[in-house]
Structure 1
Amino acid sequence: MINTKRPPRDTLWAGAIFTLIYAAWAVLVSSNAEFIQNFDKTIINLVCNNDPANVAFAKTFTNLGNTSTILIETIILFIILIVFKQYPYAWFTAGTMIAANGYNWVIKHAVERARPAVHHLVYADGFSFPSGHSVGSAALFGILIVLTILLIKNKFWKTLLIIIWALFPLLIGYTRIFVHVHYPSDVFGGWLEGITFVLLGYSFLYHYYIEVKLMEQRA
């Protein structure tokens, strides 16, 4: 059930701040700013290597961020929430994922950034910015973090789950750089976009559901 006594605060301002940061990042990427070039080179030098174990891990783990995989995971989460009659959370999940991935398609075709001109270790088509794997995983696991905060009461399990959920998009983003299908700035932009939509989506949930419940309890 929702913690109506002390629900998390509205995230509209945080969402607005992330929107501005994401917009600035997108402008820098689309203009091929020197800062972005240096950022990409620095991260690539830190991340990429030819270690067979790392290559095997990256080529396997990156599949967890595939569009089809994220879609299946989202549908499963949506069904679970519906079964347990957590309808507002189910629509929060569906709405946030649809908005994030739909907007990602628009931005990809607006920026039209080509993928890195090196040998790709896995197949990837379409434009490079932002990373769809990073957007989808940041949005989905960001939603799971929100649901964990709202629904899990035990502090140990809440902390453990939040750490686990946070690691998934970080590792998926890492693999997209490692397998040479995205620039680091694509991945970072994807994380910014995914987090932005989670914050804005939760703000809608907060205003249209949690505050209503609080008002009903006070009536």
Structure 2
Amino acid sequence: MINTKRPPRDTLPWGIVFLTIYVIWAILVSTGSELIHQFDKTIISVVCNNNPANVAFAKTFTNLGNTSTIVVETVILVVILLLFKQFAYAWFTAGVMIAANGYNWIIKHAIERQRPTVHHLVYADGYSFPSGHSVGSAALFGILIFLTILLVKNKFWKTLLIIIWALFPILIGYTRIFVHVHYPSDVFGGWIEGITFVLLGYSFLYHFYIEPEMANHNFKRKTRS
């Protein structure tokens, strides 16, 4: 059931915009563009430092974006949605997460970008672009933002939750740069990729579930009046 009178409209146009940005960014990364080098250098100089408190926070918080953690969080979310009989939202969640992370694995092995050569503060293996932590967190918390808009009625809680969900991928991406296992361009690419899949996934949800549900609701209301 949709608990809002005005759900977000079709996000396909925005999905195409973000997909275009992502494709351009991936090309720049894969070709070793000077723009990417300067971007990485600038962001690293702002983000990274040796403050013990910052190091401790980054090494701990970054674990929230681990693949295993994201998988567990996704499974829990899908199970909760199924228990509350929100089947369309459960499929939306599972579909976006599978597609985003599966595609990320393909792109990592297609581009084969090596990780930063400086000392890593946490263990990390595999290729560098895009950041899997950033893709997974952007996709999962992007889904949570849409679910919050669709299912939460109270304006205060809706706003608060959206802010919290938006902060998680930002902080996780920040930690991946801080602990030296990803370039900033990896993180940005991961965010864009995750957001793209959420927008495209919501477009499917909108056309195949939300729009028909709204039309059915309006039809029943008219027949009763």
Normalising by structure 1, report the TM-score.
0.98
Aligned to 2:2: 2
Large movers: runs of 4+ above 3 Å: none
Residue by residue over 1:53-79, the C-alpha shift from the partner in whole angstroms, topping out at 9 and shown as x without a partner, is 110100000000000000000000000
Counterpart CA distance in 2 for 1:218 and 1:136 is 36
2:58–2:178 Cα contact (<8 Å) kept: yes
Structure 2 partner of 1:20: 20
Asked if the contact 2:4/2:153 (under 8 Å) is kept, the reply is no
- Is the Cα contact below 8 Å between 2:47 and 2:177 reproduced in 1? yes
Q: Which amino acid aligns with 2:92?
A: F
Unaligned runs of at least 5 residues, structure 2: 220-225
CA distance in 1, matches of 2:46, 2:37: 14
Alignment-derived partner of residue 203 in structure 1: 203
> Displacement, 1:3?
4.1
SS of the counterpart of 2:126?
coil
| 1:28, distance to aligned residue in structure 2 (A) | 0.5
How far off its partner does 1:4 sit? 6.2
Q: After TM superposition, give the deviation of residue 211 of structure 1 in Å.
A: 1.2
Which is higher, the Rg of structure 1 or of structure 2? 2
Is residue 77 from structure 1 mapped to residue 77 from structure 2 by the alignment?
Answer: yes
Question: Could you list the per-position Cα deviations for residues 76-122 of structure 1 after superposition, in whole angstroms to 9, with x for gaps in the alignment?
Answer: 00000000000000000000000000000000001100000110000
Using the TM superposition, give the Cα deviation of residue 6 of structure 1 relative to its aligned residue in structure 2, in angstroms: 1.9
Task: Report if aligned partners of 1:4, 1:210 keep a CA contact under 8 Å in 2.
Answer: no
Change (3 A) 1:192 1:24: same
List per-residue Cα deviations over 1:136-165 (Å, max 9, x = no partner). 000000000000001111111111000000
Letter in 1 for 2:22: Y
In structure 2, C-alpha distance between the alignment counterparts of 1:158 and 1:214, rounded to whole Å: 21
Superposed, which structure 2 residues align to 1:19-168 within 5 Å?
19-168=19-168
Give the secondary-structure state (helix, strand or coil) at the position aligned to 1:174: helix
1:4–1:53 CA distance, 2 compared to 1 (3 A): closer
Match for 1:53: what amino acid? Answer: A
Aligned length: 219
Contact 1:114 1:127 in 2 (8 A): yes
The alpha-carbon deviation at position 19 of structure 1 amounts to 0.3
Instruction: Give the share of equivalent positions with the same residue, in percent.
Output: 79
Compute the TM-score of the two structures, normalised by the length of structure 2: 0.96
Q: Does 1:216 align with 2:208?
A: no
- Amino acid of the residue matched to residue 20 of structure 2? L
The CA deviation at 1:204 is 0.3
What CA distance in whole angstroms lies between the structure 1 residues aligned with 2:109 and 2:116? 17
Task: Give distance in 2, aligned partners of 1:105 and 1:18.
Answer: 19
CA drift at 1:5: 3.4
